[in-house]
Structure 1
Amino acid sequence: MSPMMPQRRLIRIVFPLLIKPVILLMTMLGIHIFWLRVIILTKGENYNSWKRSMTVALLARNKLKFVNGKITQPDPEDDDYDAWSRCNWMVISWILRVVSSEIGDSIMYLDDASAIWSELHDRFHQYNGPCVFGVKRSMQVLTQGSNIVQEYFTRLKALLDLVQQFRPQPICTCGAMKTIVDYQEQDQVLEFLVGLNDSYSTVHSQLLMQDPLPPINKFYATIIQEERQRGLNFVSTDSMDSSSSSTQFIRSVQSARPKVVCSHCGITGHAINKCYKQHGYPLSHKLHGKGCGSTSHSGKVVVNHFNGSAADKVPNC
């Protein structure tokens, strides 16, 4: 410990009997905002998850030693007895907050937090063999199916973490331990790839060619990137299909319209009241001056400005 460290910070680190005033006040008022992320213990199946989340929460508040037996009850005449008693009852109130009402009734009258911790361990802790078997069985039938990659990976990662919890790694400093850990990480990668849909076979085949294999998080990031790219391609293809469908619809509507045929020249697209051969070509047309109705009997050029209502005023050929 550095001699320059402030005394107040030193007390917070090494003195577990210390309770911050804000935590004490919230505990007295029944405000447990610090325990919102702790799993509620309802039955034996979720005991391991509950113990893990509870351990993290107690360790973060420097109160884990009250349940693991490292801080025992002092003599009632000891100067630290009052501080220990206050912390002990606070930890008990935290435990009662994160268990079901049925379990809480069975441990309500225990006066020691470590005794409650041991009681729950003896009651709900199971031998690791059946637990590992259940997890392995769930992993065997777990596939992506209709789920997105993120949902599939989250469920698989939770099962893999459970296996590591039931089978913790031994503390070893030899080089063989690193090899064992590498093999376990490769097994996790293979478990992830086995449950993926066949549509990603090309991607994970390329990843499996790498030596050594990337960690499972690297595989996950690559598959997620491929999934997003496919989503963009699907949206682009869908937009093109919609545009093509709209074009076809417009063409079908246009083809369904009745065709107008000129009774004078027999050409479709205009009626006789707008027929240039009948009434003469306009000034801007290259055939202006050629055709019926373009000149008068006096030899002067006549420009016919007509509309549909004036067709009967133009002399017929």
Structure 2
Amino acid sequence: MPESTPSNPPTYDYFEDPLFLKTSDQPTVVLSSFLFEGHDFLGWKQEVFMSLASKNKDGFLDGTCVKPPITDKKFKQWFRCDFMVTKWILNSLDKLVRENLKYVKSAEELWAELLERHGSANAIEIYQLKKDLNAVIQDNLSLLEY
């Protein structure tokens, strides 16, 4: 990186800053193509994580985007971003799932709660996936159509 001088001020890449919110980052954003209703958690989780990573907000899920002390000038900015990420995740949940999670205090707490409740392999879901996989047949379809 070139040295900054009065005629060459340092540049700042806002998109690399996890605390940066674009004007299009609204609380009504939904992060997944489908609402999580209690099944297909792994697919939903992958979509949500990819959406947040593309916005450089995945650090709010695992705690790597650390909450600064209340005296830090970035505290309010961190708090605002954390609330935004929390709201985006809640918007990506079905009403019944969301109802039990709306009082969490942070995106990290919400994500941990979702992982604890739905992240472990479910015997019924595994059975259904195996059953669905066994039912897949090519029939008279070409490979491309299949």
TM range (shorter): 0.7 to 0.9
2:60 aligned to which of 55, 58, 66: 66
Is 2:56 aligned against 1:56?
no
Match of 1:79 in 2: 73
Aligned to 2:7: none
User: Any stretches of 5+ residues in structure 2 without a counterpart?
Assistant: 4-9
8 Å contact from structure 1 (residues 39, 53) kept in 2: no
Match of 1:41 in 2: 36
Which amino acid is the alignment partner of residue 21 of structure 1?
T
Q: CA 1:103 to 1:115, structure 2 compared with 1: closer, same or farther past 3 Å?
A: same
In structure 1, the gaps of 5 or more residues are 153-317
Cα pair 1:39 1:49 within 8 Å, conserved: no
Task: Tell me the TM-score normalised to structure 2 length.
Answer: 0.80
Shift of 1:22: 3.2
Quick check: which one's helix share is greater?
Answer: 1
With 75-84 and 120-129 compared, the bigger mean Cα shift is at 120-129
In 2, Cα distance between equivalents of 1:117 and 1:86: 17
Residue aligning to 1:139:
133
Which amino acid letter does the alignment assign opposite residue 33 of structure 2? V
Partner Cα separation in structure 2 for residue 59 and residue 114 of structure 1: 14
Aligned to 2:21: 19
Q: Which residue of 1 aligns with 2:11?
A: 7
Deviation by residue 1:38-94 (Cα, 9 ceiling, x = unmatched): 331001x21000000001000000000001111232222222110110000101110
CA contact 2:32–2:44 (8 Å) conserved in 1: no
Give the distance between the partners of 2:67 and 2:125, measured in 1 at CA: 34
Q: Kindly tell me the number of residue pairs found equivalent between the two proteins.
A: 140
SS at match of 2:105: coil
Asked if 1 retains the 8 angstrom alpha-carbon contact of 2:31 and 2:47, the reply is no
Q: Partners of 2:34 and 2:99 in 1: how far apart?
A: 18
Matched residues, percent identical? 24
TM-score, normalisation: structure 1: 0.40
Query: How is 1:81-100 mapped onto 2 (pairs within 5 angstroms)?
Result: 81-100=75-94
